[in-house]
């Protein structure tokens, strides 16, 4: 039996990309032939970083991984997966709240588009890492250097210096 070439799509806001996201990406590259990190841009969401900035930060971190590419997308994840010929959606899990949230979406995506979602458990040290919390901590001057890579830490400082509260 010949094994199929599997291209996985890892969609998310990545606002900004964190060590938790990178942990999932590093675990995933050994499982799939190709991994596409898909940076969502939804008019309904308020982001700290523009999609170009989120893409640039991710690209900088992943550019030396030959089987990983970074894309920006708008609209439905399943449409993005379809247009990029990804057979699988990848999501990371931190806790039971993530499971509950992801379960319904994964079942819906399978039922309407026939696409499977694969879940990877985060490394224990990243179980509490979220972009939302990182933005909040950084906004109030907290140290997030253990939770995000140095390029992201620098961009967070620059971005928040420009913003008044
Ligand atoms: P979204 O708005 O789609 O949830 P995120 O950037 O917050 O976008 O998350 C993208 C994916 O990465 C989701 O599957 C999320 O569960 C996962 N993720 C986020 N943080 C972590 C982490 N610390 N460990 C593992 N997975 C994570």
Give the number of the atom of ligand 1 that is nearest the alpha carbon of residue 91: 14
> Considering 7, 13, 21, 91, which one is annotated as catalytic?
21
Is the pLDDT at 23 greater than 70? The verdict is yes
Is the pLDDT at 57 greater than 70? The verdict is yes
Is the distance from CB of 138 to CB of 160 less than 8 angstroms? yes
Which among 9, 92, 97 is the best mutation to test ligand 1's pocket, defined by most ligand atoms within 8 Å of the CB? 92
Tell me the pLDDT tens digit for each residue of 38-55. Answer: 999 999 999 999 999 999
Dihedrals phi, psi of 133, to nearest 5 degrees: -65, -40
Is the pLDDT at 16 greater than 70? The verdict is yes
**pLDDT-based confidence at 101, cuts 50/70/90?**
very high
Tokens describing residue 114: 């026939």
């Amino acid at each position: 039996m010949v094994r199929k070439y599997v291209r996985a799509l890892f969609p998310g806001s990545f606002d900004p990309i964190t060590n938790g996201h990178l942990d999932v990406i590093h675990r995933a590259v050994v499982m799939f032939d190709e991994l596409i990190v898909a940076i969502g841009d939804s008019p309904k969401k308020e982001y700290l970083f523009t999609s170009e900035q989120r893409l640039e930060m991710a690209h900088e971190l992943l550019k030396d991984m030959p089987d990983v590419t970074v894309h920006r997308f708008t609209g439905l994840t399943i449409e993005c997966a379809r247009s990029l010929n990804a057979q699988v959606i990848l999501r990371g899990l931190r806790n039971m709240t993530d499971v509950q949230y992801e379960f319904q979406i994964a079942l819906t995506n399978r039922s309407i588009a026939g696409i499977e979602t694969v879940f990877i458990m985060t490394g224990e040290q990243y179980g509490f890492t979220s972009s939302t919390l990182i933005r909040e901590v950084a906004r109030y001057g907290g140290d997030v250097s253990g939770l995000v890579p140095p390029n992201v830490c620098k961009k967070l400082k620059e971005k928040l210096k420009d913003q008044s509260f």
